Structure 1
């Protein structure tokens, strides 16, 4: 293979085994990978592990998100990035803890299996308190920050995503924009509400009587929207897509057509809701796939010594939450009454 690529055996070994702290020009590395593919070569991971004490396995610990509709995208992003890097991804689903302290037991399970690094994913806490044993391996967080400020993390920018919805509606001519908020005290509730308030303040619009908190499900969305419709909004922005389902029902009960009489926007892009509603729901997508991929890519860099945890932890990575435009929003000028 070295002869086929026109390089030394040492260079071949560095490229195919992703040897840390080595520098190989990208065009040279590309020739090596092309030769390996042409010859059907696969690196001997057992031999590499014995030599480098690396298992090429990383652990993904989830806090009950594996049973949520969103976890699949996080796992898919992590799995595909791991495969691209010839890493094995092991997954443990942990119980949801009301306190922010992470259980050390599942972390130890990964350590006992010689995982090279650990990803911890949660959707519940602003900050988490990591157990001491996690510090024995490189680690990254998805969806929360490390209270000690030593573990790198990635977060969705829900506040900016929410503000962008208000900006979009204002551009389309809406001035009476209501928010069906969640009554649950979690980071997403605070971020999305604050983003709505930011957007309304930036546009110089009043929010009086236009925010109603309720359960973050279809029944809650229905009840909140009925209350909000008493104050003549032209658009209702819902905390999530499930609440938007209830908003559709409330609008129909009041004899309003979406989007002619009332625009509705959701949040989460939770399949299959947006495409199953009629008209299809404009919503904000959470970057679950991207967060999973970021976690594996960053963990790989930490394992190989290409990144420093302290520098990354000081500035958590924030990924944007873009709007997915469908058919539930229109200018209020199209209202028929």
Structure 2
């Protein structure tokens, strides 16, 4: 059985470098001191690397009250195929600023969430990113009221902490405006939720669609609006319904990429094709779908990494400021599913 290697001590570093333990401590903590010359600092650090010395992070936390750790608590973000970019964005910016991320997915389990928060607090995290897989309004756990927290891909209902979220309305506006600029005037929309739903994504994207039409002087036609649930089957059924009308649309804004996938399938079933017979634009830029449709889907990309980076910026630099609302612009990803309208509507 292999023996466990013994950790090098600060005393051994000091002895090898020919300095006191206090000097080693000053160097490792980057503390200003007239006692330590540049040459001594260099000799101590060379010895640290030579011996493979590691500082006791937990002991350092107890002394300073700062751990250098940022907590990341989410429902299913870390395990989601595309929302995981939230965690990536947080990790990259945290690392650039000398911090690390401690991440837990709670899978919407109250007991696991409570345990995760307790763990974060015991590690004395400098702040917490509280993230959700889809854009919604959340009630922040009471236990997080005592630690700097930023809500990401969601909005804090009480407005007690800063929230960072996609600018859904601007995204819907940009998507619809893209179709208008291609010459389309009979533009349908298949939303991803019912009119009664209070989820911000569908509300914002529909508002953006309506704003773009109004700005272009296009009267909204109720016959061109459909409400689904964001699944492929809805895109298939509702697109077939739209294309069966006498005044069928020349373009469709789909509220997400899965709906757009269903729209492609519906056109194919009808002997039609995007964008030759109907332009299609989606929302999400889901990497497992959008690039692989034929033609590739033009869509709005949710700004996961930028949202997470903004959240970490707030925790590191603006934690003592008033809570703020931070909408982040979605980017247009142009592929091949939008073409110029053949004839004016």
* Fold equivalence (TM over 0.5): yes
Shift of 1:318: 1.1
- 1:66-145, aligned counterparts within 5 Å? 66-96=78-108, 104-124=114-134, 126-145=136-155
How many Å separate the matches in 1 of 2:30 and 2:311?
18
Distance 2:183 2:336 in 1: 16
State the partner residue of 1:318: 327
Q: Which has the larger radius of gyration?
A: 2
Q: Could you tell which deviates more after superposition, 64-73 or 86-95?
A: 64-73
1:57 and 2:73 matched:
no
RMSD over aligned CA atoms reads 3.2
Match of 2:257 among 203, 220, 241: 241
Aligned to 1:187: 200
CA deviations on 1:129-156 (whole Å, 9 max, x unpaired) are 2232212211111022223322111111
Give the Å deviation of 1:67. 3.6
- In structure 2, how many angstroms separate the alpha carbons of the residues matched to 1:288 and 1:169? 24
Alignment partner for residue 157 of structure 2, among 147, 156, 161?
Answer: 147
Question: Residue 203 of structure 1: which of 199, 216, 231 is its match?
Answer: 216
**Is 158-167 or 279-288 further displaced after alignment?**
158-167
TM-score, length of structure 1 as denominator length: 0.79
Distance 2:297 2:332 in 1: 11
Counterpart of 2:266 in structure 1 is 250
Is 1:282 aligned with 2:291?
A: no
Looking at structure 2, the residues matched to 152 and 333 of structure 1 have their Cα atoms a distance apart, in angstroms, of 46
1:332 aligns with 2:341: yes
Q: Say how many residue pairs are matched.
A: 301
Three-state SS of the structure 2 residue aligned to 1:296 is helix
Pick closer, same or farther for the CA change 1:334–1:280 going to 2, 3 Å: farther
CA contact (8 A) 1:268 1:286 kept: yes
Hey, what's the Cα distance between the residues in 2 that align with 1:104 and 1:119? 15
State the alpha-carbon separation in 1 of the partners of residues 100 and 333 from structure 2. Answer: 33
- Partner residue, 1:8: none
Tell me, which stretches of 5 or more residues in structure 2 are unaligned? 1-25, 33-41
* 2:325 pairs with 1:297: no
Write the deviation string for residues 142-189 of structure 1: whole angstroms up to 9, x where unpaired.
022223322111111011111111111111110011001113532211
Q: Structure 1 CA distance, aligned partners of 2:102 and 2:162?
A: 20
* 2:18 corresponds to: none
Q: Structure 1 pair 77/17, CA: closer, same or farther in 2 (3 Å)?
A: farther
- Given that 1:284 and 1:321 are in contact with CA atoms closer than 8 Å, whether structure 2 keeps it comes out as yes
Give 1:68 shift: 2.8
Change (3 A) 1:193 1:276: same
- Show structure 1 runs of 5+ residues with no match: 1-12, 23-34, 302-306
Change (3 A) 1:108 1:125: farther
Aligned partner of 1:4 in structure 2 is none
262-271 or 213-222, larger mean C-alpha shift: 213-222
Equivalent in the alignment of 1:28 = none
Deviations along 1:38-64, one digit per CA (max 9) or x if unpaired, are 979899573643431211111111122
1:178-227 deviation line (CA, Å, top 9, x unaligned): 00111353221111111111111222223320111123111111111111
Deviation at 1:105, TM superposition (A): 4.1
- Distance of aligned partners of 1:254 and 1:79 in 2 relative to their CA distance in 1, 3 Å threshold: same
Distance 1:111 1:50 in 2: 13
Return 121-130 or 288-297, whichever deviates more: 121-130
Q: Could you tell which deviates more after superposition, 122-131 or 82-91?
A: 122-131
C-alpha deviation, 1:295, in angstroms: 1.6
Distance between the aligned counterparts of 1:285 and 1:248, measured in 2?
19
The SS at the match of 1:144 is strand
